[in-house]
Amino acid sequence: MTVRASRAYAAIIGCGRTKFSELWDDSMSDLMLDSLISALKTADIEFKDIEAMFVGNFIAAKIIDQGLVAGELAQSLGTHIPIFRLEGACASAGLAFYNACLGIKSGKFDIVAVTGVEKMTDRGEIVTDALAAAASNWERFYGNTFPGLYANIMARHMYEYGTTREQLAMVSVKNHQHAINNKFAQYPFPIKIDSVLKSPLVADPIRLLDCSPVSDGASSVILCNPEIAKRYTETPVYVTGAGAATDALALFAREDFTGLTATKLAAQQAFTEAKIEQKDVNILELHDCFTIEEVTALEDMKFVEKGEGGPFIGEAVDSFKGSKHIVYPCLSGEIVVNCGGGLKADGHPVGATGSRQICELWEQLVGIAGKKQVDLDTDLTTGVAHNIGGTGGVGSVHVLQI
């Protein structure tokens, strides 16, 4: 076994996902099973090999009146294996993945599956209220919504650091560009800066095209003990760092909200454990629920200095000459962020996003991402996934290496 494998939490041997979109003909179980079956196929194993499941889900109890997601999944699968449902708002699947890694590392399980799932579009009229369960009572009392809370973060970042509306729009332009070749993406089409700036105002200064959409979908990951990974695949992807952290629920309870402490702490843990620095990262999945979050995450994870995220993104998008991906020139290397469109263009079925990010990194590192395969001058060896719940009440960061 290689040194990397011997200190890894777990090895990823397969991944699968559904399209993210308005999927009115599919139930929550249909989505979970579709993504799980795809993942089992890529790992070339059968469901009977899975010893436990870790499921990420946030609002099924509110949108489709189903609180016991584990029971629904067990019924659909006809299984009695342990199934743990993890809830961390939009970071539910990030936390499910984190706990699955611990389940393998502890020696309790050899092979497990992680599934993230959300049905959001069935009850469009209540989805904004349902999502607001991840805010504090006082924030809700004053009428805040999630776009409203992130609008506070965006306005403050613009005020403190001179980040411009155009720079923020470029995050969206970049992520829509990355979704063009993603057959699973909700919005696989390019947009222009001007369309973002002229899109309907949602919560000043956030506009429609700054927002991730409301989506249905599921994604699944198969993890195994690193010692046995080579039995299943020639190209295991190792989880070499796992970080998770929390913060005060409400923005007003924090000293500063132009960045997220949960991101900073989770990234620090994951990078330290994986023994990597920012310059080692080739691909990065950031939680761009609103454009400002890609800017603050780049800063919080120390890919750029505080306050420099806006100009950094601006320069990268300005210098794009028209290939598949818009590359950030990072430290001593290059980095592609949100390779398949991120939350903005791929879609954001909240409980499924954390595992979708892992699926994207896995495909890219194994080299099977097809038309959206990232093509850099260096080999892709290291990917990082960043998943946030609420406005940063919880967060997880994972380092994946091949």
Least distance from ligand COA to the Cβ atom of residue 186, Å: 8
Edge-first strand listing for the sheet containing 83-86: 83-86, 52-56, 111-118, 217-224, 10-17, 237-246, 394-401, 382-389, 283-285, 333-337, 328-330
Check residue 90 for interaction with ligand COA (CB under 6 A).
yes
Check residue 14 for interaction with ligand COA (CB under 6 A).
no
**151 vs 281, which CB is nearer to ligand COA?**
151
Nearest CA-CA partner of 300 in 350, 247, 353? 247
To the query of whether residue 224 is one of the catalytic residues in this protein, the response is no
**From 90, 289, 339, 359, active-site residue:** 90
The CA distances from residue 98 to 9, 223, 270, in Å, are 9, 11, 11
Query: CA-CA distance, 10 to 13, in Å (whole number)?
Result: 10
Least distance from ligand COA to the Cβ atom of residue 11, Å: 31
Nearest CA-CA partner of 284 in 337, 353, 328, 342? 337
Using left for φ > 0, alpha for ψ between -120 and 50, and beta otherwise, residue 305 falls in beta
**45 vs 90, which CB is nearer to ligand COA?**
90
To the query of whether residue 90 is one of the catalytic residues in this protein, the response is yes
Least distance from ligand COA to the Cβ atom of residue 211, Å: 4
Check residue 202 for interaction with ligand COA (CB under 6 A).
yes
DSSP string, 273-324: HHT--GGG--EEE---SBHHHHHHHHHHTTSS-TT-HHHHHHHHHHT--SSS
- The residue from 10, 69, 171, 209 that contacts ligand COA (CB under 6 A) is 209
Do 104 and 10 contact (CB within 8 A), yes or no? yes
Binding residues for ligand COA restricted to 271-310, rule: CB under 6 A: 289
- The residue from 152, 177, 212, 296 that contacts ligand COA (CB under 6 A) is 212
The CA distances from residue 360 to 16, 175, 182, 315, in Å, are 9, 14, 10, 25
Least distance from ligand COA to the Cβ atom of residue 26, Å: 18
- The residue from 20, 54, 97, 146 that contacts ligand COA (CB under 6 A) is 146
**From 325, 348, 386, 398, active-site residue:** 348
Token pair of 245 as six digits: 């952290």
Strand partners, 11: 224, 238
Only segment of 25-33, 212-220, 238-246, 313-321 that touches ligand COA (CB under 6 A): 212-220
Check residue 211 for interaction with ligand COA (CB under 6 A).
yes
- The residue from 70, 180, 208, 248 that contacts ligand COA (CB under 6 A) is 208
Q: Which residues are catalytic?
A: 90, 348
Interface residues with ligand COA (CB under 6 A) are: 90, 128, 131, 146-147, 187, 202, 208-209, 211-214, 289, 348, 350
